[in-house]
Amino acid sequence: MSNPAIDAAFADEPAFIPYLAAGDPSYEASLEYVEALARGGADIIELGLPFSEPIAEGSTIQNAIVRSLQGGMTVGRYFEFVTDLDVDVPVVCMTYYNLIYQYGDESGPEPFVRKAKSVGIDGFVVPDLPAEEADPLREACDRHGLDLVFIVAPTTDDERLDRLVSLSSGYLYIQARLGVTGARDDVSNETTSSLDRLADYDIPKAVGFGIKTGEHARDIIAGGADGIIVGSALVDIIAEGTETDSPTEEPAAELESLCQELKAGALEGAQ
Amino acid sequence: MPETDTTFGDYGGQYVPEALMPAIEELTDAYERYVLANEDGFMDEFRERIHDFGGRPTPLQRADNLSERYDRDIYLKREDLLHGGAHKLNNALGQVLLAKYMGKERIIAETGAGQHGTATAMAAAHLDMPCEIYMGRRDVNRQRPNVFRMRINGAEVNPVDIGRGTLKEAISETMRDWATTVENTHYVIGSIVGPAPFPAMVRDFHRIISEETRRQTREQYGRLPDSVVACAGGGSNTMGIFADFTSDSPFSTAPDSNTDADEDVSLFAVEAGGSSLDVDEERGVAPNSASLSTGSEGVLHGARTKLLQNTDGQIMESHSVSSGLDYAGVGPELAKLVDDDRVTPVNVDDDAALEAFHRFSQEEGIIPALETAHAFAFLETDADLGEFVVVNVSGRGDKDLEAALEETAKRDLPNAPTMEVFDE
Ligand SMILES: Cc1ncc(COP(=O)(O)O)c(C=O)c1O
């Protein structure tokens, strides 16, 4: 039932999954930044559709969302953005449920899923949609062959884990530590214990929350993960670019090179 | 064991990150056992403490001068006399006590007007729990006395700088703290909002307001009132005084014996009309907080409810002269009761609220919170309230003096006292 493009991303090598908020800080610059991720070796791109109340996000991504919304990002523009995007890796839309819900109608969230599919989106991550509330979106995704990725937290107990694995398609998003998104200087031990618990489940496991360097990537993959998700460390580059008013090429080049480092780290971890 | 529902019709639910769900399950279990089933005598201890520490029951007082002005019997439910100066302590004390029963070691809370933060800080000091409060920067500036009160009670106060710096941002930031510290921390949410079981649980701690009101109206007036009026931000004082008048609702936990004559009591929720009910879609600003009157269905802070949002679903920046009403959402149960035509949503604007603030202070010798002033402003309209009206005096206005005088000075209010003599 899962999406073949996403399955393929995990097929041979660990998957490197970078995140950026679409439209940060402007539509045009953001297109270049996201394309730089692909050049840097992204296997899947998690593309944020900014929501005004991002309760799972730390300050780095909150600020990215503010910049994007101030730059004029809307749901309609986001779909155009994905259409304009020139990358040949799968795109997973990361957003909050209210935007999906408002695009929907009496039939539920299906219109959003249908539109997403038509512009080339392959799946969704929705941080404020726990298993309890997910049935309507899960059904709509099934109908259109899109993946719905669930987040497993350090606090998730075994009973919930079974339920999340059965609901999730594409991959599982393993939240490396408690808290909100944001780049950290170390790899959390919670990650290893989560990966151990998940070893027997037959679904790709991608670890995110706090990964910043090639070394982190290596250690996490060596610890048994099938992929790494990196957001804040990349968004930091864009934030710095806006502060120093750099021409778009500079942050783009830095993004590409950090992606290469992360990807190389992941490959090394898989040896 | 009673089982709770997570929804109120289509409203409510649990739209929160997975990291919080185990804590929500744990809280649901604790709510069912301790609050609904009184396990280990939890509710007995709550009632004893809200009596001894809080000063309950609060009086029901006839407002003689307002009764004359409106030519009907206006009674005041004096929640402003509860310890701390607002209804907020009912919920804060209940939740901090529950956190203790659950073995939690740390308390966090958001606050808008600072009343909930103050009540939580007091309850945490009383029950010896460390406490941190998140408060939007704008609210820190307009409710300074409450910031000092929280600090003096030993709480940390963390200003929130993101966005417009009001209640919405404070709730988001407290949820982020909780997502990090959930294993040992309880989030004392300040109104009937958030994911289940918060809306029902917060209502149940405030239900004591309406329990007393029913008894007091019968004792003092011989019957239930024709109407009950309360301001509504998130709606906790509102559902607190409405709860036992809605026992015909499937979500009620009021005693079955209440159903008699309930439906004859009209319930009015007075929202902040702000400076205007018009919405600026382009800038994402709704210069009001009237989500029951003008909002649409959506998901915010863990619940499906009525919201101020643009067509995409981005949450609007709300506005009200009173911090405690300045919120783009509202409790899911109130949204449902409005759809069911059980509660009538109305609103009054900033100017009317300020005028009512001065009128009530002068006529009755009670300085109301700016939130509460909205309920009094509604009495000036020609709504059909009947002969016997109870108004919930949700809080006193000491925290608002600076803001109220500043806002008064911007306007030409016929009944405002002049402060010029002191200006030298
Ligand atoms: C005195 C007072 N009344 C009312 C409110 C609004 O809250 P709710 O709508 O939850 O009663 C507040 C909130 O801070 C308050 O301080």
Output the DSSP codes for B93-130.
HHHHHHHHHTT--EEEEEESSSHHHHHHHHHHHHTT--
Q: Which of B110, B212, B271, B371 is catalytic?
A: B110
The CB density around residue A178, as the number of other CB atoms within 10 Å, is 19
Work out whether the CA dihedral B179, B185, B186, B187 comes out positive or negative.
Answer: negative
* B77 tagged catalytic: no
Q: Specify the amino acid at residue A85.
A: L
A5 vs A104: CA distance, rounded Å: 25
Q: Specify the amino acid at residue A192.
A: T
B273 vs B325: CA distance, rounded Å: 10
Which candidate from A98, A128, A180 shows the least CB-CB separation from B176?
A: A180
How many domains does chain A fold into? Answer: 1
The residue whose CB lies within 8 Å of the most ligand 1 atoms, and thus the one to mutate among B77, B95, B115, B189, is B115
Question: Cis peptide leading into A90, omega within 30 of 0?
Answer: no
Domains within chain B, CATH numbers bracketed: 19-53+86-201 (3.40.50.1100), 60-85+206-409 (3.40.50.1100)
Cβ–Cβ contact B108 with A under 8 A: no
Chain A nearest C-alpha distance from B137 (Å): 16
Q: Which two tokens stand for residue B193?
A: 């909002």
pLDDT at B236: 98
Q: Specify the amino acid at residue A224.
A: G
Is residue A177 assigned to a domain? no
* Lowest-confidence segment of B148-162, B246-260, B261-275, B407-421 by average pLDDT: B246-260
Is residue A129 assigned to a domain? yes
Is residue A19 assigned to a domain? yes
Which candidate from B19, B311, B315 shows the least CB-CB separation from A53?
A: B315
Report helix, strand or coil for B326. coil
C-alpha distance from residue A66 to each of A24, A53, B314 (Å) = 8, 10, 12
pLDDT by residue (tens digit) across B229-248? Answer: 999 999 999 999 999 999 87
Is residue A261 assigned to a domain? yes
To which residue do tokens 């900033």 refer?
B350
Strand segments, DSSP code E, in chain A are 15-21, 45-48, 91-94, 121-125, 147-152, 172-175, 205-208, 227-230
B119 vs B84: CA distance, rounded Å: 6
**Contact B181/A152, CB-based, under 8 Å?**
no
Chain B residues with beta carbon closer than 8 angstroms to that of A152: 18
ipTM computed for the complex:
0.95
Nearest CA in chain B to A151: B18
Cβ–Cβ contact A188 with B under 8 A: no
Is residue A167 assigned to a domain? no
Q: Specify the amino acid at residue B2.
A: P
Range of the domain at A63: 13-148+210-269
**Contact A130/B21, CB-based, under 8 Å?**
yes
pLDDT at A165: 96
Nearest CA in chain B to A78: B312
* Res. B1 pLDDT band, cuts 50 70 90: very low
pLDDT by residue (tens digit) across A4-63? Answer: 999 999 999 999 999 999 999 999 999 999 999 999 999 999 999 999 999 999 999 999
Which residues does A265 contact at the CB level (< 8 Å), separation at least 6? A213, A214, A215, A216, A217, A218, A221
A142 vs A134: CA distance, rounded Å: 12
Please report which helix (H) or strand (E) contains residue A265, including its range. Answer: helix A249-270
Q: Which atom from ligand 1 is nearest to the alpha carbon of B80?
A: 1
A38 vs A68: CA distance, rounded Å: 20
Q: Which two tokens stand for residue B85?
A: 């100066």
pLDDT at A1: 58
Give the binding-site residues of ligand 1, using a 6 Å CB cut-off.
B 86, 112-113, 115-116, 191, 231-238, 324-325, 369, 371-372, 394-395
C-alpha distance from residue B39 to each of B1, B32, B42, B187, B188 (Å) = 10, 9, 6, 21, 20
Ligand 1, atom 15: closest residue by C-alpha: B324
Which residues does B194 contact at the CB level (< 8 Å), separation at least 6? B171, B301, B302, B303
The CB density around residue A76, as the number of other CB atoms within 10 Å, is 12
To which residue do tokens 């004390």 refer?
B93
Chain B residues with beta carbon closer than 8 angstroms to that of A154: 19
**In contact, B316 and B309? CB cutoff 8 Å:** yes
**Contact B15/A54, CB-based, under 8 Å?**
no
Chain A nearest C-alpha distance from B165 (Å): 13
* A250 tagged catalytic: no
**Contact A98/B300, CB-based, under 8 Å?**
yes
CA angle, residues B38, B42, B47, in degrees to nearest 5: 105
Is residue A70 pLDDT above 50, yes or no?
yes
Q: Which two tokens stand for residue A74?
A: 């809307």
Which of A37, A6, A34 shows the shortest CA–CA distance to A259? A37
Is residue B290 pLDDT above 70, yes or no?
yes
pLDDT by residue (tens digit) across B99-119? Answer: 999 999 999 999 998 999 999
Is residue A180 assigned to a domain? no
Chain B nearest C-alpha distance from A65 (Å): 11
Is residue B422 pLDDT above 70, yes or no?
no
Q: Which two tokens stand for residue B392?
A: 């919930």
Task: List B368's β-bridge partners, or say none.
Answer: B396
Is residue A18 assigned to a domain? yes
Chain A nearest C-alpha distance from B387 (Å): 43
Is residue B122 pLDDT above 90, yes or no?
yes
To which residue do tokens 């067509």 refer?
B311
To which residue do tokens 């939740």 refer?
B95
To which residue do tokens 């968004």 refer?
A235
Which of A249, A250, A251 shows the shortest CA–CA distance to A236? A251
Provide the mean pLDDT of chain A.
95
Ligand 1 centroid – CA B352 distance (Å): 18
pLDDT by residue (tens digit) across A143-157? Answer: 999 999 999 999 999
pLDDT at B424: 58
Cβ–Cβ contact B283 with A under 8 A: no
Which candidate from A98, A102, A128 shows the least CB-CB separation from B16?
A: A128
* Res. B281 pLDDT band, cuts 50 70 90: confident
- CATH code, domain carrying A126: 3.20.20.70
**Contact B301/A54, CB-based, under 8 Å?**
no
Ligand 1, atom 7: closest residue by C-alpha: B233
Is residue A200 assigned to a domain? no
